[in-house]
Structure 1
Amino acid sequence: MPVAKVHARQVYDSRGNPTVEVDIVTEKGLHRAIVPSGASTGAAEACELRDGDKSKWGGKGVLKAVKNVNDTIGPELIKQDIDVKDQAKVDEFLIKLDGSKNKTNLGANAILGVSLAVAKAAAAEKGVPLYQHVSDLSGTKKPYVLPVPFMNVINGGSHAGGSLAFQEFMIVPCMASSFSEAMRQGSEVYQQLKSLAKKKYGQSAGNVGDEGGVAPDIATADEALSLITEAIEKAGYTGQIKIAMDVAASEFYKEDAKKYDLDFKNPDSDQSKWLTYEQLADQYKELISKYPIVSIEDPFGETDWDAWTHFYKNVDLQLVGLVA
């Protein structure tokens, strides 16, 4: 089943910033996708094409990317007459059409919007849910296993004010009997956490960061993890809910010094307190021994390979990172 029509528009994301929305029309109907966008990005990530006009949306408009979908990608995709179920062929076409090393010509946001909408169209053509189509593409063995939700409950780093360096603290309801049960447990813990944060740090501590987690004015990861642990206990889920972190360490990695500044939001940060990767790794290991942490994302700078190697050999938990 080929693509009959492609149309993109600029919409707003959860932070109130512009992003790309793409519609693809086939015989089965209209299939829509919206491109996500993060606050912190890695050096090796593909180019998110923004307009750069500071007089509108602070330069974050995506009208160029939208135009690339409507004027270039759409017409060419229709002309190619590719079956939407052949995701690899569609994506190869999109990459070749852009022709650059890092999606700088058409924009990764333009390309991704089309690719996502195509995947939805393919699922509709096959008459299956999107997750089943993605599973088919990846060759995942059956039966399906529902993912465990990682629920972002405390925001720090570039996602919030205050001095907390680590970007996200998440709860992991991995012992729940169903996905809906996991969501209920997470919701109950989150409400307990909000209440505790207000009681300990004042009413403003109930305010949320960029991604919905509370953002109390706390300075250390230990303080954040202690608060989460208490919320889990008060909700009645001790031993049933684990914890994950997305440190986003590249945000405070000083590459020239090869050190980590946990006070990076302070322009007068004391350089004598910057940490080597070994010292930061020791902090992680101490936190892991104290709290039920099962996953850490981006614990070190994305180019600090010695740190990753050192830490990987010394811990037994899920490590998440971007491989360039």
Structure 2
Amino acid sequence: MTTTAKIVSVKGREVLDSRGRPTVECELEWSDGNGERSGTVRAMVPSGKSTGGAEAKELRDGDPARYGGMGCLKAAANISGDLGKALIGMNPADQRAIDDKLLSMDTSPGKDKALIGANAVLALSMACCRAGAEALGVPLCRHINGLARTAVGGGEVKMCLPVPCLNVINGGVHAGNALAFQEFFLIPSGASSFAEAMRLGAETYAKLKKVIEAKYGKRDTGVGDEGGFAPNISSPEEGMSLLMEAIEGAGHGGKIELGSDPAASEFYSKEKGAYDLGFKCEEPNVKTAQEMVALYQRICGTFPMALLEDPFDEEDFESHAELTKVVGESVEIVGDDLYCTNVGRVNKGLEAKATNAMLLKVNQIGTVSESLDAWALCRKSGWGVFVSHRSGETEDSFIADLVVGIGAGHIKSGAPCRSERLSKYNQLLRIEEEVKGLPYAGKLFRTPWKL
């Protein structure tokens, strides 16, 4: 399908994310040129807290008198100004041309979008993608599927409904408890549909709240940035045991696997060259990389683990490779801070056989096309791709259509709680209803092309 639609106007504005911090929104008008069809779309950009050093750089105002320096008026002005004006008259369905134009305006020395703002660039890229789908008259996931087929070099890219990986226990820099690991997931891969997966996850989440209240008291059932609980625990085994108790108590044993994002860069000590599981405590609990491999092996042997994300520091390719070698056949080892959705870093990971999967966060790299390039490299290499939200989120549901369009097989968007998380899950429920015939990835979430 083709369209002669053109971008008519672009406006940027400062809005707030789920932490009450500023972010940017792009509002874009398109028209077919003869007045018969037109539309207005919006796109909002999330922001991370636990971020990789190689991520594309947001533009913040730096004015301490306003939002503690975190304002986004400069980024919003860039959307309304030079960046947006450069896109006027372009076809919103031509995603690659739009993203190439935006990238050509990146004059930052490290080509990390620091001067123009990765947040400004991404807002424009996502808005154009949404406008392109409208102009073509197709659902956003189908438009993205077409872009994915081109990115991978032609041929079919099977769309599917993803397995939701629900972050229901928080630690690390996302919580005030002593737990070093940042996230613990429920992975309902044994469900028969996405809707059933959400039901299993939501019922287990409700049961988990009761389990935590009975063990630690009502105070520990408050939720964090991503909707997960932060009970007063200190070891990953305690977190896994709580999840297993909730799964069994909810009657879903055998249908839900477990996963975790240790976000190990946050507790890696460069001075000691080791990992401190007590980094939030008075007493350190330092482990070498080899001891961490042994810890992960023990966890994977004790619990029904399906996924580990960022188990080592973002520059520790060697330890990632060692863990992948010993547990990678049964467990997906995902690189997040390790790769930052960056083709160059993924290539390094492929050479080192560091992991068997990549986390995809569109705001880590800054454009839809660059995200698709990283996905395509993984797909060609037989790696899994795990689509993710950020801890500072918005009500924008773009990644729900993205995960379906590229057939990635699994997504994390927090717990089944908080509207900025549920906006993605609810959009997936709509897609399941409206786009007929899409299979649920289920146990094949690592290799959805085999569906």
Provide TM-score, normalisation by structure 1: 0.95
Residues 24 and 32, structure 1, Cα contact 8 Å, conserved in 2: yes
**Partner residue, 2:259:** 244
Report the 3-state secondary structure (helix = DSSP H, G, I; strand = E; otherwise coil) of the residue aligned with 2:322: helix
Tell me if the contact between 1:206 and 1:216 (Cα under 8 Å) persists in the aligned partners.
yes
1:69 aligns with one of 74, 79, 89: 79
- Aligned-pair CA distance for 1:141: 2.7
Match among 81, 87, 91 for residue 83 of structure 1: 91
What does the per-residue CA deviation read over 1:254-306, in whole Å, with 9 as the maximum and x for residues that have no partner?
1232200111123x443xx3111111111111111111111111110010122
Report SS of the residue matched to 1:39: coil
- Which residue of structure 2 lines up, in the alignment, with residue 302 of structure 1? 314
Partner of 1:99: 107
d(CA) in 2 for partners of 1:263, 1:205:
20
More RCO (CA 8 Å, sep 6+): 2
- CA offsets, 1:16-53, max 9 Å, x none? 11111111110230111110111110000010111111
For 1:1-324, what aligned pairs fall within 5 Å after superposition?
A: 1-27=5-31, 28-78=38-88, 81-100=89-108, 101-139=111-149, 141=156, 143-266=158-281, 268-270=282-284, 273-315=285-327, 316=329, 317-321=331-335, 322-323=338-339, 324=345
CA deviation after TM superposition for structure 1 residue 133, in Å: 1.2
Whole-angstrom distance in 2 between the partners of 1:297 and 1:192:
25
- Counterpart secondary structure, 2:200: helix
SS state at 1:55 partner: coil
Partner AA of 1:278 in structure 2 = Q
Distance 2:72 2:250 in 1: 43
Q: Which sections of structure 2, spanning at least 5 residues, go unmatched?
A: 32-37, 150-154, 340-344, 346-451
* Shift in Å, 1:143: 4.4
Using the alignment, how far apart are the partners of 1:93 and 1:99 within structure 2? 12
Q: How far has the Cα of 1:144 moved from its partner?
A: 2.1
* In structure 2, distance between residues paired with 1:309 and 1:170: 23
Give the distance between the partners of 1:117 and 1:98, measured in 2 at CA: 19
1:142: how far off?
5.1
User: What code does the residue aligned with 2:97 have?
Assistant: K
Q: Distance in 2 between matches of 1:159 and 1:62?
A: 23
Distance in 2 between residues matched to 1:247 and 1:63, nearest whole Å: 34
Q: Which runs of 4+ in 1 moved over 3 A?
A: none
Aligned length: 319
Point out where structure 1 has 5 or more consecutive residues left out of the alignment.
none
Task: Give 3-state SS (helix, strand or coil) of 1:295's partner.
Answer: strand
User: Identity over the aligned pairs, expressed in percent?
Assistant: 45
One-letter amino acid of the structure 2 residue matched with residue 37 of structure 1: S
Q: Which amino acid aligns with 2:129?
A: A
Partner of 2:376: none
Deviations 1:179-236 (A, max 9, x none): 1111111110000001111110011110111111011111010000000011011111
Q: Distance in 1 between matches of 2:304 and 2:138?
A: 37
RMSD of the alignment, in Å?
1.3
CA contact (8 A) 1:156 1:209 kept: no
State how far apart, in whole Å, the 1-side matches of 2:158 and 2:120 are.
Answer: 34
- Say which SS state the counterpart of residue 280 (structure 2) adopts: coil
Structure 2 counterpart of 1:191, one-letter code: A
CA distance in 2, matches of 1:89, 1:51: 29
